[in-house]
Structure 1
């Protein structure tokens, strides 16, 4: 692509005009005439006046765009305002345009286009100082600029009839669209975007090129304008020939990634340290909890042992008391027997004395008196039996009254309605009515007067026989079987047993529900029994597996979906999570459990992670209404239920493969069903547990009410049974009849005694003495027994004192047992994992055969262990708090020294807090960080290998290939009389050779990227050193220094030392870096040659068909002679096919007139009309040269000179002769 036309509007003091260009163009004129101003317009169009890419007036030595020593420099705004020596030709805000129309050369397939730069500038005044300021800058690319429809000056300077007006920037875009069409007008507001598109257009592309390529091309164009001495061949080749590959962003990205990786590794290491500390702390807290609970059970066992010991001591003393009482009773009975024998002997002795005296009547009387005493004795015994019968009668009356009251209790009738509501009530009512008649007065009946009234006794006997018959009928109703059915009393006992069983069942349910509520109060879920057994089995066999239940690690974010989600999952909520390496062992353990425990599920954590990682969740997935505290729980839910969608209604549900609605309707497996879940069964999250707590409390209240009602029924029914069972059949009528017979016999004996006639009788003297001796012996035996009774009574008194003391001690031991049991119950409430009933039963069994001394020693040892656990726990918590994030710190009050229930409660709370933190750190955050680390390492590996290693390695090869292409092109071009040629060469630098080998080894490593990263890849020792060196740089805290060093390593141009050789046939090649003997022109020639090589490299002549083929040279060929200059011009224009625009003073342009096709002569002259602050104007003379005629004139002039020289030489020779 070459510049066909240049349009300048309000540029410097040049006239607004169009400039047509040819293949070789010359800007000539005197000093300060404006030729460089025109060149700067082209430079501005090609560089967008981008910082560090352009230099206005580059032909001046040491010119930069930054003023030195207060020197003012040319700027884009100053050109628009026509600045000349500090004065301005345009003082008002001015719009200016630079437009270049580019056409393809032969063999290029791109279309013509125009590049337009539009600027608005104004003069800013500050006192006497005036500064040109840029207000607005716009860039345009106009496509398809063919000759019939190309941009012209008339499009920018509008003809208004009598005057002309420059197109304003506001209307520029619209005007271009109206003329060229919207598809052909591209507007850019930034310099870089414009340059990228501009150089893309030069390459024949419809899009933009890379930013680096555009900037390098613009910079190469600007550098070519002015000859600058080459200070260093190596630096020149690396900076101007070879294109810089900007890897700074890649390096910063890689450095940031590596720092992030190392930061995350440090975080992960800190997490692992925290997890290890928490593991130790949990071991100590678990040890404390276990030891404390065991110590409390040990105390209970000791207290129970003391109670049982006291009880046994009490029983032993009680047995001794009973033995003493029995012996006293035996002795008293022996005394009575002895006394009766003694009295019998006494009577016999008296009888013998009476016989001795010969009184026969007295003997008869004694015989009758004896019979009377016998009857009186029988009567006394019957009276005692009668009193007992009377008590039984009173008991029957009291029981009847109690039963009457019980029948008024509706709970009794509800307890056994079919048994009590019919015959029982009527039968009892009849019996009760009979009892309310005149009651029997036993004490009056036993009175002496009444006893002598036989008729009265017989009348009472008839009433009592009727009462006894009624009582027997009433008792038979309760106790006798009827029609092969059990007795009513037995049926009541059976019903009572059933009620007691129901009572015990409700009591168990109530206790279980209470424990569930206690666990919920502790934010713990009550698992099904088979899950508990499975957890216990795994914990005992594989403690490292850390079994957890899925439901503990899921929270439902939206309460409206709580029941639906849990109902859909059902029993899967209680699946068990273990560490992945123990999953197979855990399921084998469960397989061996008996009964329902073997139905527990083990989650395939590793499998779930892999499957979940491949899934993409829809926005309506139920996973989006859940949150998790365990990574495996999330992976399992995603893999298993990620496809389940939350849908709004049944119409949507029926077309949903797996879905659920808020009102608990679900779909799956091409069917729909209900998935309701009671509030009491909800387990996901704190809110669910609160709802479950409320529901379970209501259930507990219902159970308590039922329990109380059944208890009341049991109390009423058991009281009825007790009242019935304590009544015996009355025998009072039989006793009273026997007593009546005794009274009749007594009357008969009294009548006979009244008829006896007393007289004198003799006694047998020889028997009296024998009776006296026997009587005395019996008296001695009686005295001995009385003495023995006294001793036994003393012993009995001591035993009673001991029993009373033991009873008091027993109350104390019983209180201690109750206190220990209460403490155990409190432990189970605080830490529900402890099975209170089982532990209590075990402690009660152990208490019977307990070695108290050994048990006390064990208890003291446990208390010492508690001290050790507490101290270690305190140390672990301190270490944890030092390393933990603020939100993970654990508050632990200073230990007061008392191992009490409050400390136990505190440690249990800390244990739960630590378990929550441990789970979140280990199974959620750490897993997430490991996942992020893996992805980051993979990303870093890809970035390092692809963005850095491949890029540098490819850049090195591209640099070699570029130099080889340049050498291939230069070898056909010879310059000067010596027919010299030029060649590029390079050699490795040792330091960079090592880096290159490292990059090459990385690229060729087949394992990288296939599960292996740069951190664990196998490589040579030298490459490992390079890798570690690069890693240390990437991690360096001094980021600026590290990035500077890494930029140096990443710049492929530093890997070689470059040289340019001048070669002359038959001579040794000369290195230009050592070429110190050549003249200025000799050095300027290769400078242009290699700069031309640089610009062709920047313009990418080796790639594609279309390229920018225009160069601009200011103050051209200042040190070269005519021949070398012409050779360079021919090399640029003919060999490289470049369009050349060069600037030269008029005095030096004569030798080149036969070469140029277009000449622009600039002249500054006075103006008759002031132009702003200026009184001068610039004129431009455009010439299109006829090269053939110029060449003919030039040849004719050369021949004339040669002939004149020849004549002068011949004349001088002739004169010398």
Structure 2
């Protein structure tokens, strides 16, 4: 019955009351799902039918239902819905033969062509939506919420969420249409945003205007300051000019006075000069005086020359002593170096030179100059010797550093897996040949390999022996047999530059090697020959056939390359491994781990430089790195020794090569000092003669000359002073007349012209000129000229910077405005165009937008009031009335002595909007946007507009909450007890018994069905009255059940109850008919029960 009334597999809840979350489906009912392991379904593909028949009060019928095709393969069932008007239910509509139903397609064709009674009509639907529309209309124009109420009634659950129940069963959803209001508000917001943008632009333009005014103010300050500075400078020049003119007059007067005094001194000087001349003539005519003068002049010359020679003698002695000390030091170093000491050096050390005569002392044939010259030659020879040694030392040091650098580079390459670099050092020609073969033959790195790269030596104790015997053969190149001839041709082509490299003919060596018997151990990386199991036979020179009965050195080498195996056997297969040197004598060719080798009965030791440099196997790279690091340490020690020797050589070169120039200087000094004794003798003779002269007359004459000379000098000094003073005054007068005064006149004129031209250059108007001149006069009255000029000069840069900053800020503001509002570029420093734009915005655009806002606000307010607030208030009042009518119905009903009442109050979440809506009727004529009403309900107003202006999304939960009038009330059920106590269902749900909490559900459901069928209206509605309940009244006592059923019957409902047999007895007095469903095996039967007979049986028991 639920499926026929509701339709749709997703909406129907099969047996929900019995099992919450059950997984029964429509297909499981049609196919007969058993769920046993032996048989899960009774039927495969099957067709089922559900049909309901309604009888009207006038005796007419109508039927509806569905035909279902269920499939064994799990496909969704196909459903055909039907409605038949004015006809009783007829099995012939469904059965094409006894027990055989039409499938959905055949049923549709069959019913549409079936002969129905007169005035009857039938229609088949394949779409659930169409079926529901027609069914709800036929059942009495029921609302779309009716199917959900049917499902809810069957899926019994305790009434815990009263709000959801009221929303789903009592109050129908009726969302307010706010799209028009949202559009109006969106348009209002659009105009408000435009107006805000205009206001923002006006603000920006006002800022530009203020910045322009600031720029003009700073410009005016700068012009004033600059003009004041230039005018002040001109006045400074004028004051200076006045001072200079006064100074010129004073200088001319002083010049005339000094000329008169100079003339007087000139006459006195002529008289004094005449007297001095007479005294000097008398002195010069005296012979004794003449001789004294001659002697004194010669003595002065000799004294100067003797002093110079004495100083040079002292310098010579100090230098000679220092060179003697260094010569002795050199002698010790030569002795330490085990070099022969030159005779000249020995002679120089023994030589002692007289301080004044420069002759030898204690020698018979010595010559100082000759000894110095010989020593110089000896030092030159020793310096060349040490220089050659230093050159060799530097070359050796450079070679060692280069070697260390190369070793470090090789270590880095080895650590990164590049073994080619070490091979290139050890066998450069082989490496070069490999590169040529790869480049010109196009071979890969694995196709041209070194022999050492394909070999492994598991036992490290025999690694030295293998490496030493293989030697250069380790770098033999292995190429594919197909490329061997081409490789040899290339080798021949480059034979002039490449030699010593080895190519292995792998094909030939494999063909020439005949293996008669081979039994060996299988190693990790290849095969290894062992003692007693190797019989390698090859044809070679005379005595070429060898038979090895002992383990040879080749058995220590592993390889997976057959050619390499054969080549190693060829090279090492003849060498027997021996544990000691004594064991070598037992074989013709043998070797020990210490690399002692026996060849043709001769013993020798392999070169350690060869066998200690490993290239075979995984241990090769670490060994090479270790050897190179060891060599780097050795090089470091050698460099330390070389550096120590180089320091010693620098010391020796300083004592030999660097001493050549000092000895040359000593040699020249000896020659110059040879005249010193003669000059000393001359000076003594002249001094003696001067002392013997009679100088009494001379002293008198001299005193007279000195007296007149002092007078003459005094007069000359005074005259010269006056001449200088007159010259200075004349120069000063000339400078003032020709330079200072004309310069000041020009400067003053230029400053005045500069100040005037500055005003013209700045395009200053007459008012500005008058103001700056008045400002200058005002300052002249208050401050000295120097202070005015100083202040103007000091603040000139400040005013310029201030103007530049204001100009920059103005430019940035204009650029920002132009970029933001696409106003175009403006390179001028004025803001005229922006002021015109501001004027247009203020007088035109902004008033226009404000008018649009006022108009749009009126439209939005009208829409808000008429289609939202008033309608919402009406819906809320209507909901209150519906609940009041329901409470009026429940007022006289008692359920176990209890009475139920639906109560409501404003929902806390929506209280602010609720109060605003309910209070809106008090606003008469005033605008909601501007009245006190908005301020009073500001929070509700903000919440309303926030959700209305949010994203226009039909699924917006917050907006839907605002549109649904049911969300503005909070619901509960009040229980009135017989003793007068009251309780709210929401508060006692978890504390009461099952019967007490179940009763409100049936009361609410009955009220919900009554409302759905419009039974609470004044005029009865033409609707069905069907109310379905599954496993009804399971936890309710008899009194509560009787009250609930009485309430439903009084409400005019046709109640269908499904209940277990053990509960049905208590319900018999309250129902009209009873049917029992009985199942036997896999078949079900419906049996009508005689109600009166059953009641009698129950009463008799």
Q: TM-score, normalised by structure 1?
A: 0.36
Higher relative contact order (CA 8 A, sep 6+): 1
Rg larger for = 2
Q: TM-score, normalised by structure 2?
A: 0.40
